Structure 1
Amino acid sequence: MKKLIINADDFGYCKGVNYGIIEAYSDGVLTSTTMMANMPGFDQAVDLHKQYPGLGIGIHLVLTTGRPLLKNLKTIVDADGNFRNQAYYKGSFIIDQQEIYDEWKAQIEKILAAGIQPTHVDTHHHANLFGDFNEIYLHLADEYQLPVRNNFQNQDASRRTTDGFVYTMETVIQTTETLEQLFETQDSVEIMCHPAFLDKFLLNHSSYTYPRTEELELLTHPTIKDLFSTQDTIELTTFKSV
C-alpha cells in the first residue's frame, strides 16, 4: 500500500487558518498539519486538536514570521523584536546559530508542554534551507526523535521521512492517473498545502491569502473525496506511519 500524507502548514497562525485546516480534515482529504508555537492562533489550535485527535500534528518551526518566544535575541530579530523577514536571508547575513537552536527548541518545548505528541517537524518558509541552518534543524529532529520533511538533498538513508515531497498540490491531486504517476518510483509522499478561511489577521500579515481558499475548496471537493474513496492502492495517513 502506498502512503500519502497531505499536510497543511501554519496551524496556529490565526483563526481563519485554524478553521480552514480543521474543515479540510473533517470534511476533506487532509490528514496532517504542522503547528506554529509563536502565533496568536496557537491556543485555539491546541483546543481544536483535542476535538479532532485523529489529525496528525507536527511542529512548524518559525524563523521569519511573528515574534520569537525567547527574549534578548540579537541576530534573528529586527529593531522591533520581530523575526526578520525571509528576504533578509536571500543575501549574505550574519546570524548567531545558537539563537536559532535555542528559539526552535523553545518552540518545540511549548508544543510538547501543551500536550501535543508531534508526528514530525518541518520549517515555515523552508527556513531549514537558509544558509547552513539544516544542520540545526536535523540536530533538533534527532534530539527529539522526530521524522522530517523531505525538502532537502543528501538525505541520510536511516532518517525517517517520506520518499517524496510535493510543493504544488493541485498538480497531483487531479485524477487517478496523476496519483499513479506520483507513486511510480516512490512508496510514500508528502504533499504540502495551506488551506484557510480568510480573516483580517491573515489578510494583514500574510502575502499568501486567496490561494488558501482555493486549496481548501480542492481538499474538500466531492470529486477529490471520491478520487480517494474509490481506489485501494493509496493510504491517506500521517507521519506516524513513516
Structure 2
Amino acid sequence: MKKLIINADDFGYCKGVNYGIIEAHTDGVLTSTTMMANMPGFDHAVELHQQHPDLGIGVHLNLTTGSPVLNHLKTIVDTEGNFRNQSYYKGSFIIDQQEVYNEWKAQIEKILAAGIHPTHLDAHHHANLFGDFNDIYFKLADEYNLPVRNNFNNQDPTRRTTDGFVYTMETALQSEESLTQLFATHTTVEIMCHPAFLDKFLLASSSYTYPRTEELDLLTHPTTKELFNRQNKIELATFKII
C-alpha cells in the first residue's frame, strides 16, 4: 500500500490558521501538520491538539517570522529582536550557526514541554536550505530521532524521510490519474499545504493569505474526499510511518 502524508505548515501561527488546519483534518483529507513554537497561536494550537490527537504534529522550525523563543540572540534577529526576513538569507550573510542550533532546539523543547511528541521536523520558508543550515537540521533530527521533510536532494539512504515531496497540492490532488502519477516511482510521498481561515493577524503579517482559503476548500471538498474513497492503493498517513 502506498502512503500519502498531507501536511499543513504553520500550526500555531494564529487562530485563523489553527482552525483552518483542524477543519481540514476533521472534515477533509489532512493527516499531519507542523507547529510553530514561537508564534502567538501556539497555546491555542496545543489546546486543539488535545482535542484532536489523531492529527500528526511535527515541528515547523522557524527562523524568519515573529520573534525567537530564546532571548539575547544577536545574529539571527534584527534591531527589534525579531527574526530577520527570509530575503536576508537570499544574498551573502553572516550568521552564528550555534544560535540557529540553539533556537531550533529551544523550539523543539517547547513543543515537547507542552506534552506533544513530534512526528517529524520541517522548516518554515524551507530555512533548512539556507547556507549550511541543513547540517543543523539533520543534527537535530538525529538527536531527537525524528524524520525530516524531503525538500532536499536526498542522497543518504539512511536518512528518515519520504521518497517524494510535492509543493503543488492543487496539481497533485487534481484527479485519480494525477494522484497515481505521484507514486510512479515512490512508495511514500508528502504533500505540503497551508489551509486557513483568514483573521486580522494573518492578513496583517503574512504575504500568503487568500490562497490558504482555496487550499482549505480543496482539502475538504467532497470531490477530493471521494478521490481517496474510490481507490484502494493509496493510504493517507502521518510521519509515524517513516
Structure 2 distance, partners of 1:95, 1:155, is 26
Q: How does 1:158-177 map to 2 (within 5 A)?
A: 158-177=158-177
Q: How does 1:132-143 map to 2 (within 5 A)?
A: 132-143=132-143
1:132-159 deviation digits (Å, cap 9, x = unpaired): 1000010000000000000001431011
Structure 2 distance, partners of 1:148, 1:156, is 12
Match of 2:214 in 1: 214
Match of 1:226 in 2: 226
Match of 1:116 in 2: 116
Task: Find runs of 4+ consecutive structure 1 residues off by over 2 angstroms.
Answer: none
Amino acid at match of 1:201: F
1:187-242 deviation digits (Å, cap 9, x = unpaired): 00000000000000000000000000000000000000011011100000000011
Q: CA RMSD in A?
A: 0.5
1:49-97 deviation digits (Å, cap 9, x = unpaired): 0000000000000000000011110000000000000000000000000
Match of 1:14 in 2: 14
Which segments of 5 or more consecutive residues in structure 2 lack a partner in the other structure?
none
Which segments of 5 or more consecutive residues in structure 1 lack a partner in the other structure?
none
TM-score, structure 1 length as denominator? 0.99
Match of 2:30 in 1: 30
Amino acid at match of 1:206: S
Residue 185 in structure 1 maps to residue 211 in structure 2? no
State the secondary structure of the residue aligned to 2:189.
strand
Residue 60 in structure 1 maps to residue 60 in structure 2? yes
Amino acid at match of 2:71: K
Match of 1:80 in 2: 80
Identity fraction in percent = 79
Match of 1:147 in 2: 147
